[in-house]
Every structure is written in structure tokens, then in C-alpha cells.
Amino acid sequence: MSPTDPAASTPPQPARRPQARTHHGDTFEDPYDWLRAKDDPEVIAHLEAENAHTDAALAHLEPLRERIFQEIKGRVRETDLSLPSRRGDWWYYGRTIEGKQYGIQCRAPIAGPDDWTPPVLSPEVEVPGEQVLLDANVEAEGHEFFSLGSFDVSNDGTRMLWGVDLAGDERYTVRVKDLVTGEVLPDVLEGTFSGSHFLPDGTHIVYTTVDDAWRPDRVWLHPVGRAGRDEDREIYRDDDERFWVGAGVTRSDRFLIVESGSSVTSEVAMLDAATVATDPEARPRLVWPRREGVEYGVDHAVIDGEDWLYILHNDGALDFELVRARVGAPDVVETVLPHEPGRRLLDVDCFRDFAVVEYRREGLPRVALLDYRTHALTEISFDEPLYAAGFGSNPEWAPPVLRIGYGSFTTPGSVFEYVLPDADPGLLRDGEPGELILRRQVEVLGGYDPADYGQARLWAPAQDGTRIPVSLVWKRSFGEPGAGIRPVHLYGYGSYEHSIDPSFSVARLSELDRGVVFAVAHVRGGGEMGRQWYEDGKLGAKRNSFTDFVDVARHLVESGYTTPQRMVAEGGSAGGLLMGAVANLAPELFAGVLADVPFVDALTTILDPSLPLTVIEWDEWGDPLHDREVYEYMKSYSPYENVREGVAYPRILAMTSLNDTRVLYVEPAKWVARLREVGADALFKCEMVAGHGGVSGRYNSWRERAFQLAWLLDVLGVAEA
């Protein structure tokens, strides 16, 4: 293990300018909060000095970074096409071209109404009738950052819209193109949120906008062909600062669904998609009025000519249940799938002849078909013990096949088509009813063989006796984990009921091929083990997330998998809060901590309702502004306030982006300054043109990951494959 290059410049330490923050009779002197003045030239100068120092301190890793970048690049087929997906009279797909940062959206005509087998396309062979819809490389010319937040084509295939963010602040400008004439229409919708789309007839655009706290709060209807937003009609508005709004059209094209939700409560309203644009008096009709703590989602089905709503809810059902009701009487329900503890229902998607239900069971995501008449579930299963299966791209209302996305830690991302039991065999060139057909698997160049790698799940005991699932992936040639001391890269998140499911990573191979074992600690606060798993890691139980991660690390050490000197922890965003907390709780357990866009000044942020997301976040963390107990609890774990004197911290690398609206750059900037006060070897890198997801462009993203992995491998004392 090599320390930060001693020849590097002295770390830039910002001036201490204490500002008093007083709540509930407690005063905290914050010496670095002045760094949040984003437009202050002194702040920008400090961030640039931090970047220069990090570059100098890690200059010795440049050869390793370049090797890792070339390894990632060498495993990816740079000129490639995605699997075509049928919508209407077209197959839609994406292209990537060697040397180009961004994808290209294309389409080609179907051969006829019975053409349901996706064409086998080749990058080297011209596709008959191909149309290039959007070349993001052209859109990004002259800009350091580019993000596509909306992309949609009207049902009849004649119009396209796209929304672009050129700063990283997740505010998009939407434009429209006539695909028949090639004309770019006068529509320019500035300041929209992501996810804009057409109404089914293509005459209007549905979009959302945000308030001053960056909360999507309004849904609008824009007539295509009009410049600007002056004539747009607001069709929904939610003034409750805890709720986000969004809108979408049911697969049946029958209803425009408007959803408004907080972390714990939701409400759904419906409008007739065919008349909402022509009826200025149209108002959303509530399905169920909001009730605190009740979440639900709605989809539409037509069964024997009658309109039904399929409603997934948690009213008295911790892991959710599925009911249905007639459109005209949403309060009169019948149970479709009753609540079953341990089976966390996640989503329902209604097609003409069946529905698809996604759920979690035994810690892993599953997909099943639902029979409308018998309510029987047919799970679509796979052979691997650890995998993730999910709903794929299925835009059609009555397809003969169902697209399923699939992957594991060792199996590259794949797309299967499940041949539906009632499918007309004349529509398919291959496959039998009930059969899974592999249509595409991401190709990994360089001789990748999944048999060379292993994956497994073990269980680590927490302090309170709870068993914490831990996923492992490794290269078999280095021996089985636990048979000897190995370097370990331990990843965690643990918030918002978000689950870290098995998935393949090309970049991860660069560490596995050097003998590193990659591990995921599925701590409480995530959703891996159902809703209770989430409840046991939020609000007043949040510390469970941190102690679970520490207990997993201790278990790996005590069971002979690794040592503290050979273990690095990583987490991002809310997982960055996890990193800051465990660094304070158990600095002796890790050689390094990689914190990406880390939420490490949590209490300061959640105390300020004027900041983006704060009020919404009170359902996740509690309201420290008005509740003394919440204030004291958050102050007990917030990383910035709890940096410890007199302990040896692991090496720390914090990375963020200047324009991140979700976790402000000032949080890691303050945290690193405080860590340096107690002698920690902490480095800070701030992308000056990027957002919450980091830099844009695939080559830039690969280089960013190579930067992180080179640092991580250096901490672990591993350099060569």
C-alpha cells in the first residue's frame, strides 16, 4: 500500500469562518459553510486548487489509470447496436460508434404487421430503410456536458421530441421535430424536468416543471407547433412540499395518469387521454384520496370489454397487495394478489391479454405473468442462484412475446423474449409457447468467460442478531473467498428502499482480474429483504444502516476473507453518507473509503427547507427543524459533525460535481476540510461541468471510473493483473 505521493503539494485548506447554527437550544459553529457560495470566485478558486492538489497527489497513478481505461475500452464493442424494439410500424434501436461519446437513436420499418421477430442487425451492414432520429454527438458539439432527459416518438411515428441538459443541473430544454418533413418545429420548452412525452395522438406534449426547491410540482400540456410555453395549460399542481409529481399514459392509451408522491404517501389521478387536450375544463379524477402512509400505483386493463384499474397498495399490507376495481367505482375492490409477507410486490404492468407483476422474493427481483381471470401467477425463472430479472422494453399493447431484462454478477446484461402461451406461432420464426429465447447479450471482448468467475451470497450477523445478506463476486483462479486473505472492495448504499441487485460490470473486471473480491453489503434501509428491511434502516432506525455495514466488514475480517489493511469501502450519494458514518464509527476497519457525491453534511441540508429536496426528504430522515429528538439523532451520526480527533482515518477520496442539484458540492468540500484538520489523508475532486451522475459521455465515464479504480487498487496494494 502506497500513501499519497509525499511530493505532492500541500493540501489547500480553506479559511475558517465560523458561522453559528442554532436549533433547539444547540449551537454548532460551522467554520466552512461559506464554501456554499457557488458564485464566489474564492470558492471556485478553492475547488480548482483542490483538483490541482488531487491531480498532483495521484500523478503517480496515471499509468495505472491509463491501463485500466484501455482495459475497459478493450472489453467493449465500441461500434454496436442495441436490440430493436417494435413500436407501431417501426423497429427502434440505438447505435454506438467507435470514437463517439454518445449514442445515436435510429429506427427501421417493420416488414409487415406480423413481423415480431427483431431483425439481426450488424454494425457493418447497412440497415434497409434506416432513419437516424437523433445523433447525440451532434447535439453535444461544443458542450462539455450533455444529458438526454426526454426522448419520445408519437404513436403514429411522425413526430419526435427530445430534452437536453447541457449543464448537469437536470433542467431540460425540449424541442420537437417533424419526422416526415425533417423540419424542427418552433417548440422550445425550457426549464422542464425529465420524462416529457406525447399524448397518444401526438398533438400535445405532457411535461413537468420544478419549483424553487427543485421539486417537480406541476404538470403541463403543450400544443405541438407553438413556440415557448405561453399558451401551455397547467393540468395538475401539488403545493405540498413533500410531494413530487409525474405523468404518463397507460399502455392502453386510454388514460393520462398523474402521480403525486412522497416517500411514504401517494395519490393518483386520471384524465381521459383522448379528450384532455380538447376539453379545457378537463380535471384529473382521483382514484383514492391521499392518506398518510398509504402508497399505491395504478394501471388500466380491458377485460371482456370492461375497463378495470389494477391497484398495487400497502394499506394494511406491509409488502403490498394487488387489487382491482372498475374504473367508475375505484373504491369497490376485489383482491387479486393478497399480501404475502416476504413477497414484496413492486409493480404491475397491464397488457391486453395479461399483466406482468414484478416482486422481490428471497432478496432477489422476480417477474411473473398474471392471468386476468384466474389471478394465477406464472413466474419466469432462470437457472443462476443470484440474478436480477426485470421488465424490459415492451411498448406494445398486445405483443406475442414479453421482453425480460436479465443479468448477474457474472452474466453480462441480457434480453430474453418469453413466448406467451397464447402466441400465434405464425408470428414468430422461432420459439414455442412458454419458451425463453435469448435475443441479445452484451458482448464482452477479450476472451471473457463467465465460468472463470464465481458469485455467492453469505450472511453476516448484525449486533442485534439480524442476518445481513452479503453478495460476493471473484475470479476463480485466485482461489475461493475465505480460503485465504484477499483484497476486498466492499460496496453499500442502504436508503430509500433502493436495492443493490446482481449486475454485471465491465469496469469491475479490472479489479477482479487483479485478485480483488467485490462484495455488496445489503444493509437495512435498502429494499432487498422487503419493506420491513427499509423501515428498519430509516428515520430513528437509520444507524442500523451504518452498524450493519461495519458488522459485515468485521465478519469478513473475522471469517478470514480479508484484513482491514486489505479492504476498501465505497458508496455514493446516500451511500456516501454511509461511507462518512462508517469512517467515523470504525476507521480501523478500512484501508480506504471512496465516497462519490456523498451526502456527508446531512443535518445542515435537512435543516434548510429552501434547499432542493429537503422537505421531501423529511419522510426519509425525519424533520430536525421542528423535532428536537430528530435533530439530536441526526447530529449523532451526520459525518461532518462527527469527525473524530485522535484516530487514524483510512485514506479517503471524495468526488462530486459543481452542478449537482441532489447532493450539493459543498457537502464533501466541508467534510474533507474537517477531515484534514484531524490529520486524515483526504483527497477531493470536483468536476466543474457535471451533475449528480458525474461526467457525461461514455469515454469520459470510463476515465472517471478508471480514476477511482486506480486509487482503490493503489490503496489495496494491487496494481498488475
Residue 198's nearest CA partner among 285, 256, 238, 275 is: 256
**Cα 643 from Cα 636, distance rounded (Å):** 11
Helix locations, 41-109, DSSP H: 41-57, 62-75
Closest by CA position to 622, among listed 546, 537, 540, 527:
540
Q: What is the 3-state secondary structure (H, E, C) of 99-138?
A: CCCCCEEEEEECCCCCCCCCCCCCCCCCCCCCEEEEEHHH
Report the relative pairing of strands 488-492 and 567-572 from DSSP bridges.
Answer: parallel
Quick one: angle between helices 62-75 and 698-716, nearest 10?
130
Angle (CA) 680 682 688, round 5°: 155
Residue 2, judged by CB atoms within 10 A of its CB (0-12, 13-18, 19+), counts as exposed
d(CA 214, CA 612): 5
d(CA 157, CA 512): 45
Burial (0-12, 13-18, 19+ Cβ within 10 Å), 289: exposed
Quote the CA–CA distance of 258 and 272 in Å, as a whole number.
11
Look up residue 642 and give its amino acid: N
**End-to-end Cα separation, the chain, in angstroms:** 16
- Show the cell assigned to 502: 446482481
b/e for 442-468, b at 16 or more Cβ within 10 A? bebeeeeeeeebbbebbebebeeebeb
Q: What angle do CA 596, 598, 604 make, to 5 degrees?
A: 165
Active site residues: 573, 660, 692
d(CA 262, CA 245): 9
**Per this entry, what is the length of the chain?**
721
Return the closest-CA partner of residue 14 out of 713, 715, 672, 683.
Answer: 672
Q: What residues contact 444, with CB distance under 8 A and at least 6 apart? A: 75, 76, 412, 506, 509
Q: Which helix (H) or strand (E) holds 296?
A: strand 296-303
Give how far Cα 453 sits from Cα of 334, 512, 518, Å. Answer: 47, 9, 11
* Half-sphere exposure (Cβ direction) of 244: Cα atoms closer than 13 Å: 17
